[in-house]
Amino acid sequence: MNGCRVGWAVCGFTALGVILDLSVKAFARGWLTPHNPVAIIPGLNLNLGFNTGVAFGLFADDAALTLTIMVLVQVGLITVLIVMLYRTTGVAQACYAAIVSGALGN
């Protein structure tokens, strides 16, 4: 019974992370415009930018290849992380759930 509660808590935490991730992205797209930074406090500006490639703009010219590679890598990593998530407990489990929610949000 206790394991079942932990499983639901982890699923809820992961779902909350996905919702938060997507909400922040939607808010940023609606509130910010490209090349127009918004000053929050002196020295801290928010600026909307998009990375059309992978890390450092890799594969930016081939959208189909990029999508295929990214989907395969994400499915593999999320699968590994979910297995690790259920093999751990406590803080480590919450950390894995946060990583999975970030990956699913992308």
pLDDT at 98: 87
H helices within 1-106, ranges in order? Answer: 2-31, 63-87, 90-105
For residues 37-58, average pLDDT: 81
Spatial contact of 12 and 101, defined as CB atoms under 8 Å apart: no
pLDDT digits (tens, 9 = 90+) for 58-94: 666 777 877 788 889 888 988 888 888 778 888 888 8
pLDDT at 20: 93
d(CA 97, CA 8): 12
pLDDT at 26: 93
For residues 33-53, average pLDDT: 87
d(CA 10, CA 96): 9
d(CA 13, CA 7): 10
Token pair in block for residue 104:
């699913």
